[in-house]
Amino acid sequence: MVEAVLITDADFDIASEYETLKQAGVGAVVIFSGVVRDNADNPRLVAMTLEHYPGMTEMEISAIIEEAKRRWPVSGVRVIHRVGRLLPEENIVFVGSASAHRQAAFESAAFIMDYLKTKAPFWKKEETEEGANWVDARETDEDALKRWE
C-alpha cells in the first residue's frame, strides 16, 4: 500500500506523484489537482494564504483515507495540501488514488476530496487589491457529502 499525507509550503511535482502511485502496481491511477483560481476568474485576486491546524489536519485526512480504503479496493493514496501564501495558478492540493479498477480509483479520489474540503482544518484568506478577506465556507461543499451517505 502506497500511502502518504503531506502538508507543505513547497510545490509538488505531479509527474513524480503519478510515478509513485503507479508503483502500487495496479491498472488505474486517478489524479485530482486543485489550483488557485487565475485572474480571469477573479480579476482582483492577488494571492491566497492558507492556514491549518498542524496535527489535526493530518489526523483528519488519514481518517478520510481509512474510510476510503474501507469502501473501495484502493492500493495507493497520496494527499498533498499546500499552506502559506500562494499566487494565482499555483497548485494547492493533490489527491491521487490507485486501484485495480477505474471506478474505485475515480470514486475514492472524489470521496477523499469532498471530505477534505469539509473536514480537514484549513482556512483560506484571499488578498485582493482592495484588501484581505477570509473565505466563507460554502454550503455546496457540505451538500457534496450527501452522495456518499
Partner 1 sequence: MRILYFAWMREHTGCSSEEIQLPEEVETIAELAEYLRGRSAGHEAALRNMKTVRVAVNRRYAQLDSTVSAGDEIAFFPPVTGG
Residues paired with residue 3 on neighbouring β-strands, in sequence order: 77
Cα 86 from Cα 22, distance rounded (Å): 29
Give the start-end residues of each E strand in the chain: 2-8, 28-35, 45-52, 74-82, 84-86, 91-99, 122-128, 131-134
User: Which residue stretch of 16-24, 37-45, 68-76, 134-142 sits at the interface with partner 1 (rule: CB under 8 A)?
Assistant: 134-142
87 interacts with partner 1 by CB under 8 A: no
**Among positions 38, 39, 56, 102, the unique one binding partner 1 when judged by CB under 8 A:** 56
124 interacts with partner 1 by CB under 8 A: yes
Which residues, 92 to 121, sit near partner 1 by CB under 8 A?
92-93, 113, 116-121
In the complex, the smallest distance separating the C-beta of residue 100 from partner 1, rounded to whole angstroms, is 27
Cα 96 from Cα 106, distance rounded (Å): 9
Name the residue nearer to partner 1 (CB basis): 134 or 148.
Answer: 134
Q: CB under 8 Å to 22, separation ≥6 — which residues?
A: 29, 98
Contacting residues toward partner 1, per CB under 8 A: 34, 50-53, 55-56, 59, 81, 92-93, 113, 116-125, 134-138, 141
